[in-house]
Amino acid sequence: SCAELYTHSLERVTAAGAADYFMGTELQAQFVGHGIGLQINEPPVLTPRSRDVLEPGMVIAFEPKFVLPGVGAVGIENSYLVTETGVENLTPAPEEIIDLRTGLAHA
């Protein structure tokens, strides 16, 4: 479900020690993505209170962000097709993090 995806995302961020920066600092947004269809932003919304279930054929944008006070924000927004067995990444861009100081990519 949308709520489970949000909760799983928050659990992973918390385990990594980055929950204080996830989706903002003082006013943290309570969503990590949304549906894509006839409009670029449409239901379902990936929130902790959503009762929507992701079904095969749906396309969602997953867009986690981190805000670093005094530095800025960083995030990605990838599109995924929900399938019978999981998701298919529709975004052709690489997902590695590139260290701008060294030029090295990290998975």
pTM for this entry: 0.80
What pLDDT does 89 receive? 94
Q: Are 53 and 1 in contact (CB under 8 A)?
A: yes
How far apart are the C-alpha atoms of 71 and 56, rounded to whole Å?
Answer: 39
Report, as ranges of residue numbers, the positions in the chain whose pLDDT lies below 70: 107
What pLDDT does 33 receive? 93
What pLDDT does 107 receive? 65
Go through the domains of the chain in sequence order and give each one's CATH number.
2-106 (3.90.230.10)
